[in-house]
Copies of this chain bind each other. A is one copy, B any other.
Amino acid sequence: MTRISILGIPNDDNSSYLKGAADAPALIRQELHSDAYSIWSETGVDLGAEGRLVDHGDIGFDGDCDPWELIERHVGQALASGDPLISLGGDHAITHPIMRAVRRRHPRLTILHIDAHPDIYHAYQGNPRSHTSPFARIMEESLADRLIQVGLRTVNDHHREQFRRFGVEVIEAGQMGAGIRLDIATPVYISMDLDALDPAFAPGVSHREPGGLSPRQVIDLIHAVGQPIVGADIVEYNPHRDISGLTATVAAKLLKEIGGVMVRNARMNAV
């Protein structure tokens, strides 16, 4: 049986505006396991099957270690089993050290990055680890072969320069129309920022940007991935902004659908 690893990364040290994303992992897990919902994914996978989900708990950030080293090490340990991993943020900054660990195991890799923002600033307020900058670091260190950004709606001139510099493929929210086609030939990593969704669906984010995707659009996008999904993160859920728990519920739903495709595509490969 294909197993899926879960790892909580409760770190929001590099959020520039609102902290709070560090409080997310426990709340997403709670929604995932609540009796109020079905634990089956829409792809027909029972994520509640005995042994399916292997929860590695949360990384503890209290000690003296550098958080980036801690994240890289823990993600590396979680990946050691060969099972795909879903990390629960935390803010988007954590994707940088995650990718360092992921890249070591995957010489061919495409990142599907779903977000309202490019998060590719060279630096923000002097902080190169800012949650607005992880993809600048990731591309500088060649931690992926391709970076496809979907759902953007805050692109400025600096971003466009970075896109050119790093060869980023961009599909802005306004270009999605009746759906998009992904043409990917490598294993895939999904970096899912919840503010890609319109704030009506996911109000619990630090930066609400109207004009976003619907949960259905995001689920369709995930379902459309035809290559193995070797890892994923779900980041930027900020419970301090949530309304009536709507965002925790949608985060857990996306976790189930990402997990469902991880299992479905693993089966395909096995044939």
Report A's interface with B, CB cutoff 8 A: 16-20, 22-23, 26-27, 29-31, 34-38, 40, 42, 44, 46, 117, 153-157, 160, 172-174, 177-179, 198-201, 203, 206-212, 214-216, 219-220, 223, 239-246, 249-250, 253-254, 257
In the complex, which residues of chain B have a beta carbon less than 8 angstroms from the beta carbon of A210?
A: 201, 215, 249-250, 253-254
Top 9 nearest A-B pairs (CB, nearest first) are A38-B154, A210-B215, A210-B250, A210-B253, A26-B30, A40-B156, A211-B215, A200-B201, A200-B200
Residues of B within 8 A of A207 (CB): 36-37
Q: Which residues of B contact A203 (CB under 8 A)?
A: 244, 246
Assembled-state Cα–Cα distance A265/B96 (Å): 39
Is B40's CB under 8 angstroms from A154's CB? Answer: yes
- Pick the contact of A40 from B27, B34, B155, B178 — CB < 8 Å? B155
Across-interface contacts of A155 in B (CB, < 8 A): 40, 42, 44
Residue numbers in B under 8 Å from A208 (CB-CB): 36, 246, 249
Contact in complex: B216, A38 (CB < 8 Å): no
Pick the contact of A246: B27, B156, B200 (CB < 8 A): B200
Distance from A172 Cβ to chain B, minimum over Cβ atoms (Å): 7
How distant is A264 from chain B, measured CB to nearest CB, in Å? 13
Given contacts A36-B240, A244-B244, 12 further A-B contacts (CB under 8 A): A17-B36, A20-B36, A27-B27, A36-B208, A38-B156, A42-B155, A44-B160, A174-B220, A198-B214, A200-B201, A210-B254, A212-B215
